[in-house]
Amino acid sequence: MPDNNFQKETPIGKELLIWFLIATGLALVNWYLNYRPVPDVTASGFRFLLLQLAYSYFVFTHILILIVVFRLVLWDRVKSANRFIQEGSGLLFAFIGFIIGLYNLEWFASFLHGQMFPGHTSDFQWSESIIYWLGSFVAIAVIGVFAVSYYTMRLNLNESYQIHLERERLKSELDTAREMQMGLMPSGAPDLPGFDIAGVCLPATEVGGDYYDYIRIDGEDNALAIAVADVSGKGMKAAMTAVMVSGMLHVEAFHRTNSAEVLIRINRPLYRKSDRRMFAAMLYGILDPGKKQFSFTNAGQMPPLLLRAGRIVTISSHGPRLPLGVTAEVNYARKTLELASGDHMLLFTDGINEARNGDRLLFGEERLELALAESARAPSASAALEMILDRIREFTGDEPPHDDITMVLLRVR
């Protein structure tokens, strides 16, 4: 995306055309003011017009040569300076070309006048009308600078409009991606006997691919599947991949109670259908409220944190931890965790521990563990998540988020 301070320069071909038109206009003015019929010369008015055009183009050729030299040799050195220096440097070179052109015009006028009006000599001497010519140069400079500046302004307005359209298109795309991302989230917390469960997903400034979801397992009393995912990349592509992964997950999870089997069956088609640079880190588990068991498989996601009796442990998993879609065949494994009353288990994405402050320090897992321990006194899982988010905000301050923040907290009553 172009920078806000983008300033388009007038192409040198367009600038030369502007000066050519000014030279033509000056020749017409001189022809109108100075023409006198020449006896015994046919079509003397037309010949005089051609003569004035030749004079004007001859002088302007000198000006344009000096302008081209200025643009090719010195422009890179002065274009970063203020407008006054830019215009002043260009006009100085134009004036030098103008003086050289007038000096050479004496012999050119004598030669050309003799060709146009045989038997009549030219009385042109620029030194005798220096005030007129200097006035002409000032008029030329004012008109030329105004014309070039006006054309440059039109270019910049058009460029700004195109930038505006592109930004609006990107904004619309990002808004659509964000709607798709947020549409994957549950509309509310699940009602599960013996458990208090809450989740949150805060997209970063750019839309990413984080999402979490709850899925009821068919044929299992109160069994609840929980997924926390982080799709690589940002924008529409990440959102589309997240939608695809979510759809696959719902199809496979509805009838299966083995978390590893579900991810294996998702991984194969995802690998075939997605870009090689797109993959999805996911922690997928099935909560059995009757047995108070959580069987899960971790495919490249952050390991859960378990708060039990005031002590926090990191729950490692079995088998490979490759994200979904990295390679076609991965034999994921599952781990079953026995839960007890009073347990708090946090599932989260790396946007939390990698949150940064203005000094580029990471929030880190140690601060997250302290925040989780502190959140134990909150009256509900949702209030506990809000306490953790408050600690993250206090740490990052005004630093904008660099990644989505997603958490699911399970509390065992």
Count the neighbouring beta carbons within 10 Å of the beta carbon of residue 363: 20
Contact in structure between 259 and 296 (CB atoms under 8 Å): yes
Within 10 A of 254 (CB to CB), how many other CB atoms are there?
14
DSSP 279: -
Domains of the chain: 12-174 (no CATH), 184-412 (3.60.40.10)
Work out the number of other CB atoms within 10 angstroms of the CB of residue 396: 17
Question: Which strands, in side-by-side order, build the sheet including 405-412?
Answer: 195-202, 405-412, 344-348, 305-308, 311-314
User: CA-CA distances (angstroms) from residue 390 to 72, 344, 370, 374, 375?
Assistant: 57, 18, 13, 11, 10
Give me the pLDDT at residue 4, please: 42
As a whole number, mean pLDDT of residues 313-334 equals 92
Per-residue buried b or exposed e for 157-176, using 16+ beta carbons within 10 Å of the residue's own CB = eeeeeebeeeeeeeeeebee
Q: Which residue has the tokens 């640079």?
A: 277
Which range has the top average pLDDT, 148-152, 185-189, 202-206, 409-413?
409-413
Please state, rounded to an integer, the average pLDDT across all residues of the chain: 82
Query: Worst-scoring range by mean pLDDT, 33-37, 139-143, 177-181, 198-202?
Result: 139-143
Q: 83 — phi, psi (to 5°)?
A: -60, -35
Contact 209, 233 (CB under 8 A): yes
Mean pLDDT of 313-329: 92
| Strand 405-412 versus strand 195-202 pairing type | antiparallel
Distance in angstroms (rounded) separating the CA atoms of residues 124 and 61:
19
pLDDT at 204 over 90: no
Is this prediction's pTM over 0.85?
no
Q: Does pLDDT of 177 surpass 70?
A: no
pLDDT tens track for 234-287: 777 777 888 889 999 999 998 888 999 999 999 999 998 877 778 899 999 999
pLDDT tens string 361-380: 999 999 999 999 999 999 99
Query: How confident is the model at residue 144, as a pLDDT?
Result: 62
- Categorize the per-residue pLDDT at 212 as very low, low, confident or very high, splitting at 50, 70 and 90: very high
pLDDT of residue 125: 58
164 close to 2: Cβ distance less than 8 angstroms: no
